[in-house]
Amino acid sequence: MSLSYPKRIFLTALVMLFGLLMIMAALWLPPVDREVDVMDSLFVIDITDSMNVQDVSFANENINRLDWAKEYTRQAILSMPCGSHAGLAIFSEARSLILMTPVEVCANYHDLMQMLSQFQPTMAWARSSEVSKALYTAIRQAKEITPQPTVVFLTDGHEAPPVHETLFPKFTDTPGEVPGIIIGIGGSDLMPIPKTNESGEIDGYWEINEVMHRDVYASSRGDAAELNENRPRTEHLSSQKKSHMETVAKRIGFEFISSPKSPQNLIKEMQKISEMRQQPVKYDLFVWLASIALVLLLLVFLPYSLFSKQHD
Amino acid sequence: MMLLGLEWAFPLVLLLLPVALLPWFNNNLDKTVAWTALVPHDPLSRTISLSLKVLSSVVIAALLLAVASPAIPERTVERFGEGAEIVLLLDRSRSMDDAFAVTTQAANYSVAGDNSKRRVAKTYLTEFVKKRPDDRFGFVFFSTNSINLLPLTYSKEAILSTIEANSLGKGLSDTNLADALMNSAIMFEDQPYRGARIVLLVSDGGQLMTDEAMEQITKRYKEMNLSIYWIYLKSRQEMTLEPSENDNILYTDIPERKVHEFFKTIGVPYRAFEAGSLEEFSDAMDEIDEQQYQTLIVEELVPHEPKADWFLWLALLAMLPLASSHLYSYWGVRKAHE
């Protein structure tokens, strides 16, 4: 490349003028509005005893299901764009209890984490774990919240007392009316379930004769009782109940994700099934304008002579 | 990333800073002269050429620094405000699902929707929180085991959402008042004393507490200098916390009165508000609102402030003479070639 001296002087002057204009624009051009897709979510975390089973791993460390659920929730909240809302709820007995209705995730991150860190088995108000019913209450309560959040239900799917296939609690709402995702937690091997005492410490394990092994209602029906006869008695042990959660998810129109690897799995699924809200955010273009000025200026000073011989 | 006390959104851009030296190794704009000895020795030209190089380097460096998007990180500043630190203790028992301030006994047990005690408490507390800009609020989860659900926070959105969540769904079967009172005190533990500390209990009943629990509560509350406000939502209009002469015999021994007696003996500031109607409830909230304006140290979170403008200004100031000089030389060269 070789340009005559007057041409070079002309181009340099032109570039300098443009550079100056770009810097001025970077300083004084008002921010533009940009639409960002934000989501509203309600995280329901299972705090029943079976969540104390240590059969999941995080960053190569063996941790219990509840800690995994809390860490996954934290990461999912972190992955949401500012302007998204997240609420927190716990599940014990046969209901979901909302503890914080959805709040903006960036401004309230600290408070969300403070509350999340408090979730522990001692908060349970009863010692049963009726997952399906808890899902139904979560759906009903999500409907009372505006804007209606997508329910994210983190559980191992362990029903205690067990539910017989033909005696499922009836779901009276419209499936899919409230979008939701069940996140399945736990390993595939049956593990003993730790018992916790009042202060939340692990105090022995649930024994085979301390839990119910069949649906109480099914055992009172002649046919079902027969049907149940030869089933193994394993309800004192727990694993991730994938097929059960799949069935329940289908019934209520939820998605089911088993042991997701990254919070992105959840975020992508949420973007697919829930209505995104558009939130305008102010976006300052100064980075782009300053970069243009910078590139222009460098064009003047690049050592062209290294690539080609210059002639006057 | 933090560098020089600033937070840089694109720190890798800073690695390009050496390119600011390019103007010093460059002769794109030199005019080829047949014999340099012919060029007169001109100290002014030398100074000008030197300063143009300096200016070019400054512009490039300043633009790079601006593109790296520096900002002063989020920080807290302390200021004096007026208000208090308030821990909310909302009864979540089943009885709070009943209608508030009814006159007939039958209505007392009907399942109340919007005018349940819990919903009414939510409405007034929400109003109260909104009225108090400087207060810090905490929330205790009131169940079999109470939990310090939301430690003291300035975020109005967080506390209002927690209060709202508390009004959803049905009540819990079992609540433990002594445990909740203890936990409320723990909320203030390890906190510097910033101003008035209040435990605000909203409930429709009392509970018998063990002597041991009462002793512990007395000790803690005194040590930590807490005040207790109790908004007592009456189930029956004629029931009072203070015994009166023509008392119904049924009321003489109820837990509410025992709790009231106990609160009076602790030796910390204590006020009970007996709310039998919506007006009384709202008056109680107003009275607390009026009383609690003492000096309070408020920690304010200053959001992170982008500071790229500093460098853009620097770039602009250096660019102005630089661009002018190049426009001037263009003008000069054009003249010379005319």
Q: Tens digit of pLDDT for each residue in A279-289?
A: 887 788 889 99
Cα separations (Å) of B103 from A141, A305, B110, B237?
30, 96, 12, 7
Residue-level pLDDT at A224: 53
Token reading at A170: 């009836």
Residue-level pLDDT at B116: 82
Give alpha helix (H) positions in B276-307.
278-291
Whether residue A102 sits in one domain with residue A23: no
- Residue A168 sits in a domain whose CATH number is 3.40.50.410
Instruction: Give, as one character, the DSSP assignment of residue A193.
Output: P
3-state secondary structure of B114: coil
Environment class of residue A26 by beta-carbon count within 10 Å: exposed (0-12), middle (13-18) or buried (19+)? buried
3-state secondary structure of B295: strand
Residue A218 pLDDT greater than 80, yes or no: no
3-state secondary structure of A264: helix
Token reading at A133: 């019913």
Whether residue B197 sits in one domain with residue B292: yes
Instruction: Give, as one character, the DSSP assignment of residue B172.
Output: B
Mutate: best of B17, B67, B92, B325, partner A, most A CBs <10 A: B67
Q: What is the chain B residue with the closest CA to A287?
A: B67
> Shortest Cα distance from A85 to chain B (angstroms)?
11
Asked whether residue A311 is assigned to any structural domain, the reply reads: no
Q: Which residues of A touch B93 (CB under 8 A)?
A: none
Select the more confidently predicted residue: A294 or B25.
Answer: A294
Regarding beta strands A194-196 and A191-192, do their DSSP bridges make them parallel or antiparallel, or are they unpaired?
unpaired
Cβ–Cβ below 8 Å for A107 and B26? no
Residue-level pLDDT at B154: 86
3-state secondary structure of B134: coil
Residue ranges of B 1-60 with Cβ closer than 8 A to chain A:
10, 19, 22-23, 25-29, 31-32, 56, 59-60
The total number of structural domains that make up chain B: 2
Amino acid at A54: Q
Q: Tokens 């100064």 correspond to what residue?
A: A286
Nearest CA-CA partner of B93 in B159, B177, B209: B177
Cβ–Cβ below 8 Å for A122 and B164? no
Whether residue A193 sits in one domain with residue A219: yes
The beta-carbon neighbor of B316 closest among A27, A115, A303 is A27
Residue-level pLDDT at A312: 43
Cβ–Cβ below 8 Å for B23 and A301? yes
pLDDT above 90 covers what percent of chain A? Answer: 23
Residue-level pLDDT at A185: 93
Cα separations (Å) of A254 from A97, A182, A269, B55?
19, 7, 11, 62
Mutate: best of B32, B92, B319, partner A, most A CBs <10 A: B319
Adjacent-strand bridge partners of A58: A61
Residue-level pLDDT at B134: 83
- Residue B217 sits in a domain whose CATH number is 3.40.50.410
Cβ proximity of B216 and B187 under 8 Å: no
> Shortest Cα distance from A153 to chain B (angstroms)?
17
Q: Which residues of B touch A151 (CB under 8 A)?
A: none
Q: What is the chain B residue with the closest CA to A25?
A: B312
Environment class of residue B284 by beta-carbon count within 10 Å: exposed (0-12), middle (13-18) or buried (19+)? buried
Residue ranges making up the domain that contains A10: 5-31+284-306
Stretches where chain B sits below pLDDT 50 are: none
Rounded-to-10 torsion of CA A103, A104, A110, A111? -10
Q: Between chain A and chain B, how many beta carbons pairs sit less than 8 Å apart?
A: 177
Cβ–Cβ below 8 Å for B158 and A112? yes
Return the sign of the alpha-carbon dihedral for residues B169, B171, B176, B180: positive
Q: Which residues of A touch B315 (CB under 8 A)?
A: 23, 290, 293
Phi, then psi, of A267 in degrees rounded to 5: -60, -45
Cβ proximity of B83 and B132 under 8 Å: yes
The beta-carbon neighbor of B168 closest among A114, A120, A144 is A144
Whether residue A19 sits in one domain with residue A153: no
Whether residue B123 sits in one domain with residue B101: yes
Q: Which residues of B touch A123 (CB under 8 A)?
A: 141, 143, 145, 147
The beta-carbon neighbor of B161 closest among A24, A103, A290 is A103
Whether residue B315 sits in one domain with residue B272: no
Q: What is the chain A residue with the closest CA to B304?
A: A107
> Shortest Cα distance from B252 to chain A (angstroms)?
31
Measured between CB atoms, does B333 come within 8 Å of chain A? yes
Residue ranges making up the domain that contains B54: 2-74+304-337
Whether residue B224 sits in one domain with residue B123: yes
The beta-carbon neighbor of B145 closest among A144, A198, A287 is A198
Environment class of residue B23 by beta-carbon count within 10 Å: exposed (0-12), middle (13-18) or buried (19+)? buried
Residue-level pLDDT at B256: 84
The beta-carbon neighbor of A20 closest among B173, B319, B333 is B319
Asked whether residue A312 is assigned to any structural domain, the reply reads: no
Nearest CA-CA partner of B241 in B210, B264, B218: B264
> Shortest Cα distance from A98 to chain B (angstroms)?
5
CA–CA dist A109, A125 (Å, integer)? 27
Q: Which residues of A touch B306 (CB under 8 A)?
A: 284
Q: Which residues of A touch B320 (CB under 8 A)?
A: 20
Whether residue B87 sits in one domain with residue B47: no
Amino acid at A212: M
Whether residue A59 sits in one domain with residue A20: no
Whether residue B161 sits in one domain with residue B131: yes
Average pLDDT of the residues in A233-239? 81
pLDDT tens figures, A83-130: 899 999 999 888 889 999 999 988 888 899 989 998 988 887 777 788
Whether residue A237 sits in one domain with residue A129: yes
Cβ proximity of A38 and A83 under 8 Å: yes
Q: In the 3-class helix/strand/coil scheme, how is A269-298 assigned residue by residue?
A: HHHHHCCCEEEEEEECCHHHHHHHHHHHHH
Q: Which residues of A touch B150 (CB under 8 A)?
A: 100, 111, 114-115
CA–CA dist A158, A155 (Å, integer)? 8
Cβ–Cβ below 8 Å for A141 and B169? yes
Cβ proximity of B170 and B94 under 8 Å: yes
First-residue to last-residue Cα distance in chain B: 55
Q: Tokens 């310090």 correspond to what residue?
A: B148
Cβ–Cβ below 8 Å for B153 and A110? yes
Instruction: Considering only CA atoms, give the Rg of chain B.
Output: 35
Q: How far is CA A158 from the centre of its chain?
A: 20
Q: Which residues of B touch A306 (CB under 8 A)?
A: none
> Shortest Cα distance from A199 to chain B (angstroms)?
9
Whether residue A271 sits in one domain with residue A290: no
Environment class of residue A252 by beta-carbon count within 10 Å: exposed (0-12), middle (13-18) or buried (19+)? buried
Whether residue B70 sits in one domain with residue B136: no
Whether residue A247 sits in one domain with residue A118: yes
Q: Tokens 């709040």 correspond to what residue?
A: A103
Q: In the 3-class helix/strand/coil scheme, how is A10-35 assigned residue by residue?
A: HHHHHHHHHHHHHHHHHHHCCCEEEE
Give yes or no for a cis peptide into B70 (omega within 30° of 0).
no
Give yes or no for a cis peptide into B18 (omega within 30° of 0).
no
Residue A228 pLDDT greater than 70, yes or no: no
Residue ranges of B 93-152 with Cβ closer than 8 A to chain A:
141, 143-145, 147-151
Residue-level pLDDT at B5: 78
Whether residue A205 sits in one domain with residue A109: yes
| Residues A171, A176, A180: CA angle, nearest 5 degrees | 95
Whether residue B197 sits in one domain with residue B125: yes
Mutate: best of A99, A112, A127, A133, partner B, most B CBs <10 A: A99
Measured between CB atoms, does A87 come within 8 Å of chain B? yes
Whether residue B100 sits in one domain with residue B64: no
Cβ proximity of A298 and A14 under 8 Å: no
Q: Give the pTM.
A: 0.77
Asked whether residue A269 is assigned to any structural domain, the reply reads: yes
On average, the pLDDT of chain A sits at 84
Q: In the 3-class helix/strand/coil scheme, how is A82-131 assigned residue by residue?
A: CCCEEEEEEEEECEEEEEEEEEECCCCHHHHHHHHHHCCHHHCCCCCECH
